[in-house]
Amino acid sequence: MDQLPRFVAWVSMDKNMRHGRSEFSREQVLQHEVERAQDDYQRFRTAYLRVARDEPGHEVALAMLGSDMDRAHAHLQALIGLPRLPYTHEPSTVVRREAERMAREKETHDNH
């Protein structure tokens, strides 16, 4: 009689371990997807800032990179489960303002 409860516990533990392994695998896959999405977003953001700094008049490149950056940001938010909030600026709009501010600061420092 003493053996039966241990066997039931072993079967139960084995099921939990299998579930744990598969859950762990899913979490690892999701973590890699989030890392890849973060890398994509950072790559587009860096490219956008570089073009805004070096070629501020290249509006087509800025629009294309801004669109890609917004798409990458939305994908990243969807992966981590953040809802799309109404009345928020697209990331490219925020980065464009940041780039303009950096350019003004650079001009101010260069003139002094």
User: Which pLDDT belongs to residue 38?
Assistant: 93
Give residue 87's identity as a one-letter amino acid code.
Y
Ranges in the chain, pLDDT < 50: 1-12
pTM of this prediction? 0.65
User: Which pLDDT belongs to residue 10?
Assistant: 46
Residue 41 lies in a domain: yes
What CA–CA distance (Å, rounded) separates 70 from 84? 12
User: Which pLDDT belongs to residue 2?
Assistant: 46
User: Which pLDDT belongs to residue 4?
Assistant: 44
Domain housing 84:
13-111
Residue 32 lies in a domain: yes
User: Which pLDDT belongs to residue 102?
Assistant: 81
Copy the structure tokens of residue 90. 């697209």
What CA–CA distance (Å, rounded) separates 38 from 67? 16
Residue 3 lies in a domain: no
What CA–CA distance (Å, rounded) separates 48 from 99? 9
Number of separate domains in the chain = 1
Residue 63 lies in a domain: yes
Residue 42 lies in a domain: yes
